[in-house]
Amino acid sequence: VDAAGSCNRGSPRKERMSDLRQRAFDAYQSGDFGSAETGYRQVLAENPDDIDSRMTLGVVLRRLGRLDDAIDVLEQTIAAAPQDFRAHANLGLALQTARRIDAAVKSYRTAFRLEPRTIRQIAINLSALGTGMLFLDPRALEVFLGRD
């Protein structure tokens, strides 16, 4: 309660958004990707500038196997937040899953350039390509990703 005697709770809209976002996240965490997609779309209908929800929607679409949709949503995320290394890394994974390897590597390079600590996850993703690339030497991976 503040000095005027009213409760300091968030606005009903903020509380609703928080609840929608939490339900979408819970669905995602439990593997209910259909409900997660619905939830994140509801969040974005009310708040299209929610970068985290847009990015997670892209991840959900990838998990659903809707790779073109996932790539589109993740590219939208990057257009709105070009410095978000997570969006670039997630786009890389979606592109990799779609077997668009050159584009995936480009996205991974951008993620790595923005946040070098992503190197371990990028190495795991690249090693899973089935192309014989296994980056056990971090220096070799850094050279491959363009940090020489």
> What is the tens place of the pLDDT at every residue in 64-90?
999 999 999 999 999 999 999 999 999
Contacts 24+ apart (CB under 8 A), 123-126: 125/92, 125/93, 125/96, 126/96
- 25, 32 in Cβ contact below 8 A? no
- What is the four-CA torsion angle of 49, 44, 66, 69, rounded to 10 degrees? -50
Q: Are 43 and 69 in contact (CB under 8 A)?
A: no
Q: What is the pLDDT of residue 144?
A: 62
Q: How far from the centroid of its chain's Cα atoms is residue 144's Cα?
A: 23
pLDDT on residue 141: 60
**Grouped pLDDT means (10 residues each) for the chain, 148 residues:** 45 82 96 97 95 97 97 98 96 93 89 84 69 52 59
Give the per-residue pLDDT at 143: 61
d(CA 49, CA 90): 18
Token pair listed for 34: 């259909």
Rounded-to-integer distance, Cα 65 and Cα 93, Å: 12
0.95 cut: is pTM over it?
no
pLDDT confidence of residue 139:
59
- Gap between the Cα atoms of 29 and 21, Å rounded: 12
Residue 48 to residue 45: CA distance in whole angstroms: 6
Residue 123 has a pLDDT of: 74
Q: What is the pLDDT of residue 118?
A: 78
Place of tokens 């509801």: 42
pLDDT at 13: 72
Tell me the two tokens of residue 47: 């708040």
